[in-house]
Amino acid sequence: MAKQSRLRTRKNTGRRPAILFAILLIVLSGVAWHYIDFHKVFIRVRDFFDVARKSMDSGSDTRGTIYDRNFKEIAVSLPKVSVCARMREIPSAEETAAKLSSVLRVDSQQILERLQGDALRTWVVQNISQQQEESVKKLNIPGIFLSQEKARFYPQEETAAHLVGFAENDIGLSGIEYYYDSLLSRHTTVSEENADHLRGFPHLVLTIDLKIQGILEKLVGNIIARQPGVKAGAYLMDAGSGAMVASVQYPAYNPNNYREYPEAVLSNLFLEPMLLPVQIRRFLRDAALLNSQNEVTGAQLPWSLIPPDESLGSQVRLWDRIGLNEPLPPEFIEDGKLLSASSEMHEIVAKEEENFDTVPEFLTPLQLLTSVTCLLNSGEKIRARAVSQLVDAETKREYPLPGRQESLIGQQTVSAQTSREIMRLLAGQSQPGQLDSVSYETENLVATGKKSLWHLNRHRLQLTVVPSLHPELVLLMVVEAPAIEVRAKKTEDMDLAKAVDSVVERIAVLQQVGMTVSDVVSPGEQKKINYTAAKDDAMQDRTIRVGSLSEEDKVFPMPDLKGMSLRKALRTLGQADVRIRIVGTGKVTGQEPKPGELLAKNGECVLVLQKEEAVRLKNLEKKEPLQKEAR
């Protein structure tokens, strides 16, 4: 028998691992097919690539609209359209400038200077209106084209600006806009049953009500009227859910022009640590005593009979339960420092210092409002929130935010019996008001500064609970004013409790209506309109500025002003809250918008004037060819 080749033996030996590996692979595939749901895996992979595709393709379209709870627009992304020019393709710069000037309402000489520049491509006019865009398209001028990008626009302007924040270049920089970016980055962590609505980039529905917001803004405006250097805030919370119903701060800012404001105005008072007045710290200490006594005995004595013996461990546990040691909710995280580390705050008191054990000395208004609400709402655990739900941008279906309040269900901060006694403790030191409400007001003098430079401020703080028996709303007001200025005008100080009491009933009614209506309203179709925010540049002053996207804000129909003198035209437009730009001299021969169109609040009206001699000359020039033809 011939001896087998060593080479063939090695080949046979090399095949065995491959065969064993193939058998093992087949077995594992069978097991995986039996135990793994490949359909779900396929859906998740598809969703991942769908989100990635939309992220790359949509560009600035990725930011959804932000609504209040009644679907009033607060922040929208609008197309920002600009007119550009390619110099080599323009047949005649003079003719092109004249044509563009007629539709853009810009001086032709300024356009000509740009067209005759050295650059091969240049911006002619930026941020034109929808009507101007359509007019430029109709001209169809060679070498002139339109460039479009997205810009964030805030139709409510200063309203709730510190809560909503602002964005630039599709990046949220503050407030809810900052939170929106973090929400998009967590798409892959959403539970499977709610994953569909995050395939794209959803709209946000906030918990605030713009009608209630308006009432509190007017209230704060009346309180701080004619007081220089005053900062004030009013924050209204739903006691059952922790939802922010309104968030007001003065001085406010317009997020459309946020760069024009100093950092002190942009900072959110709601998130800045404040030195608690002694009366507030005393209230928190007494509330902890009531809770400790209930934990030890299982019964609840009246607050006036509670012994001063306190368990520090019970105090610390209570602070944890009411959220004093928790991180800020994601909607309220700011990208920046809230308080300078080098500044110090000291309360100026006449009496000797009391022993407050572990009661915090500093809290933000957000922490104080949340913790007091937890103590008064039958002890239910809540967290402050400002976003209610998500809305699919395509289907308009509404979805709850995943993993929000579900984790708090059934958690108690104090017993219901203790909560009622804490409410009695607060009511005993408060002023009664409308709808069985109680208002607790306190103040302190605070020295703020560093080294040898100190500022003395008077801090007024008020808590209003509506109603006191079963709290539904809790309002916190904070007013910071220079102590010297306030003392000089102390007789003019407004009674905070009386001022709040005058609006409590209206707020309570709107809250009930809002809670009911929010279940049946839905977002409508966004009206197509261009972003046309005015700029400082002379070329940009001639754009039309949109004050609001809602039809209810466009309350003044444009009258027919042709043939009127300038004085009469201005008198006719006197009732409209618009900016008026005048071109030329003489009588009105042209206007923008056209007669019958609705004027946008805070928008711009353009009046074109010509002298009577020029008008007569034009009419004669038109009549002469007709007379020649008749002959």
SS3 310: coil
Residue among 219, 245, 268, 262 nearest 503 (CA): 219
Q: Which residues contact 597 (CB under 8 A, 6 or more apart)?
A: 557, 558
Tell me which amino acid residue 62 is.
T
Would you state the pLDDT for residue 542?
30
- Name the E strands within 229-371: 231-238, 244-250, 274-275, 344-348, 362-363
Burial of residue 279 (CB within 10 Å: 0-12, 13-18, 19+) is middle
Would you state the pLDDT for residue 280?
93
The C-alpha atoms of residue 471 and residue 129 are separated, in whole angstroms, by 49
Please give the average per-residue pLDDT across 362-387, as a whole number.
Answer: 93
- Name the E strands within 532-627: 556-557, 579-583, 587-592, 598-599, 604-610
Please give the average per-residue pLDDT across 451-472, as a whole number.
Answer: 85
pLDDT digits (tens, 9 = 90+) for 42-90: 555 555 555 445 444 444 356 889 999 989 999 998 888 888 888 888 8
The C-alpha atoms of residue 238 and residue 94 are separated, in whole angstroms, by 63
Burial of residue 286 (CB within 10 Å: 0-12, 13-18, 19+) is buried
Domains of the chain in start order, with CATH, are 6-55 (no CATH), 68-153 (3.90.1310.10), 210-385+404-517 (3.40.710.10), 554-630 (3.30.10.20)
The C-alpha atoms of residue 357 and residue 46 are separated, in whole angstroms, by 56
pLDDT at 215 over 90: yes
| pTM above threshold 0.85 | no
3 vs 18, which has greater pLDDT?
18
Q: For the chain, give the mean pLDDT.
A: 77
Write out the DSSP string of 292-307.
HHHHHHSS---GGG--
pLDDT digits (tens, 9 = 90+) for 156-176: 989 999 999 998 888 888 899
To which H or E segment does residue 623 belong? helix 612-630
The C-alpha atoms of residue 200 and residue 541 are separated, in whole angstroms, by 36
Would you state the pLDDT for residue 57?
44
Residue 17 gets which letter from DSSP?
A: H
To which H or E segment does residue 150 belong? strand 144-153
155: preceding bond cis by omega (within 30 degrees): no
pLDDT at 540 over 50: no
Share of the chain above pLDDT 90, in %: 23
The C-alpha atoms of residue 445 and residue 348 are separated, in whole angstroms, by 5
pLDDT at 426 over 90: yes
User: Which position has the token pair 């853009």?
Assistant: 104
Residue among 67, 88, 127 nearest 543 (CA): 127
Would you state the pLDDT for residue 218?
93
pLDDT band at 410 (very low <50, low <70, confident <90, very high): confident
**Sign, Cα dihedral of 316, 320, 321, 323:** positive
301 vs 112, which has greater pLDDT?
112
CB crowding 372-411: b at 16 or more within 10 Å, else e: bbbbbbbbbbbbbbbbbbbbbbeeeebbebbebeeeeeee
CA–centroid distance for 514 within its chain: 19
The C-alpha atoms of residue 236 and residue 168 are separated, in whole angstroms, by 29
**Sign, Cα dihedral of 485, 486, 487, 490:** positive
The C-alpha atoms of residue 38 and residue 384 are separated, in whole angstroms, by 40
SS3 237: strand
Q: Which residues contact 517 (CB under 8 A, 6 or more apart)?
A: 70
Going from the C-alpha of 497 to that of each of 41, 455, 463, 631, the distances in angstroms are 59, 27, 9, 86
Going from the C-alpha of 207 to that of each of 141, 213, 384, 388, 519, the distances in angstroms are 49, 11, 10, 5, 12
pLDDT band at 545 (very low <50, low <70, confident <90, very high): very low
Alpha carbon distance, N-terminus to C-terminus of the chain: 129
Q: Which of 264-273, 292-301, 386-395 has the highest mean pLDDT?
A: 264-273
Please give the average per-residue pLDDT across 434-443, as a whole number.
Answer: 91
pLDDT digits (tens, 9 = 90+) for 283-334: 999 999 898 888 877 766 665 656 666 678 888 999 999 989 888 888 887 7
Q: Which of 32-46, 283-297, 343-357 has the highest mean pLDDT?
A: 283-297
pLDDT band at 350 (very low <50, low <70, confident <90, very high): low
Share of the chain above pLDDT 70, in %: 70
Would you state the pLDDT for residue 381?
92
Outline where 161-201 has alpha helix (H): 161-164, 175-185
User: Which position has the token pair 């209570």?
Assistant: 318
Range with the lowest mean pLDDT among 211-215, 431-435, 465-469, 569-573? 569-573
pLDDT band at 376 (very low <50, low <70, confident <90, very high): very high
On whether the CB atoms of residues 471 and 465 are closer than 8 A, the answer is: yes
Tell me which amino acid residue 48 is.
F
Would you state the pLDDT for residue 99?
84
Residue among 234, 256, 232 nearest 164 (CA): 256
Do strands 587-592 and 73-86 pair parallel, antiparallel, or not at all (unpaired)? Answer: unpaired
pLDDT at 206 over 90: yes
